[in-house]
Amino acid sequence: MVAATAKKEVECILAARDLHKHYRMGEEDLHVLAGVEIAVKPGEWVAVLGASGSGKSTLLHLLGGLDRPDQGQVWFDGQEVFRLRGGRLDRYRNQHVGFVFQFYHLLPELTALENVLIGAMVGTTMWGWPLISREKRQQATDLLEQLGLGERLRHRPNKLSGGERQRVAIARALVNNPDVLLADEPTGNLDQKTGQQILEVLQSLHRAGQSIVMVTHDTRIAAAADRQVTLEGGRLRA
């Protein structure tokens, strides 16, 4: 039975089974996720829709291993993520998934290039870093150039527009060549034109084979994905 389940999960790059998450605030018990099921195939782009407060960010954090479910499992490439031991969970977070946060989370004192390099440094030892830093610096520079930020490498976030910050955040998420990109409202704080540019970035990543799970409340943005699912009442429906 376990082997059969594992085989089924291998066909997906990322899957969640019966995910539950509660938040307890004093007396109140908020059952945000109440049995979420999702299966993402390699190269697939899935959009997760849902009202504000429905639990979309919570779900994405669980998929990325950033927070633990109260019940249920997350599977990545045939392995159960929350059973990974001895640094393997960190490796999952740092190397197999790339996270674009809802509010960018760029470090204000670092330049665009340094913010991207931070993503590459996580999970690298102090001794290993000098060996790979030149290569990673080049890769980070290439990514920022591909995202149209070649002229902005040394700008700090407060000298960048919202769309530029979001592109830096995308570059940071991509710098370790993740198997799955998890993007939380990647166009949420942007005007329509800038949002369209970010959407085009995601479309070109998707054409290159990137698996993507994207949270949005915008049905127009969601329409670009292969498939849309909606989070409602703690569960996902197609």
Ligand X SMILES: Nc1ncnc2c1ncn2[C@@H]1O[C@H](COP(=O)(O)OP(=O)(O)OP(=O)(O)O)[C@@H](O)[C@H]1O
Collect contacts of 134-138 with beta carbons under 8 A, ≥24 apart.
136/175, 137/113
Buried b (16+ CB within 10 A) or exposed e, 113-132: bbbbbebbbeebeeeeeeee
Query: Per CB under 6 A, does 56 bind ligand X?
Result: yes
Scanning 45-53, 134-142, 156-164, 165-173 for contacts with ligand X by CB under 6 A, the matching segment is: 45-53
Whole-number minimum distance, CB 170 to ligand X, in Å? 18
Among 2, 4, 25, 238, binds ligand X (CB under 6 A): 25
Which one of 53-61, 113-121, 172-180, 204-212 is the stretch in contact with ligand X (CB under 6 A)? 53-61
| The one among 57, 94, 111, 141 contacting Mg ion by CB under 5 A | 57
Burial of 225 (0-12, 13-18, 19+ CB in 10 A): buried
221 interacts with ligand X by CB under 6 A: no
Considering the complex, state which of residue 24 and residue 134 has its C-beta at the smaller distance from ligand X: 24
Which CB sits closer to Mg ion, 91 or 217?
217
Residue 61: CB atoms within 10 A of its CB come to 19
Q: Which of 17, 45, 50, 152 binds ligand X (CB under 6 A)?
A: 50
139 binds ligand X (CB under 6 A): no
- CA quadruple 42, 44, 47, 48: dihedral positive or negative? negative
Helix (H, G, I), strand (E, B) or coil at 45: strand
Nearest to 80 by CA among 135, 5, 184, 154: 5
Q: To the nearest whole angstrom, how small is the minimum distance from the Cβ of residue 23 to ligand X? A: 3
- Which residues of the chain form contacts with Mg ion (CB under 5 A)? 57, 102
What residues line the site for ligand X (CB under 6 A)? 23, 25, 30, 32, 50, 52-58, 102, 217
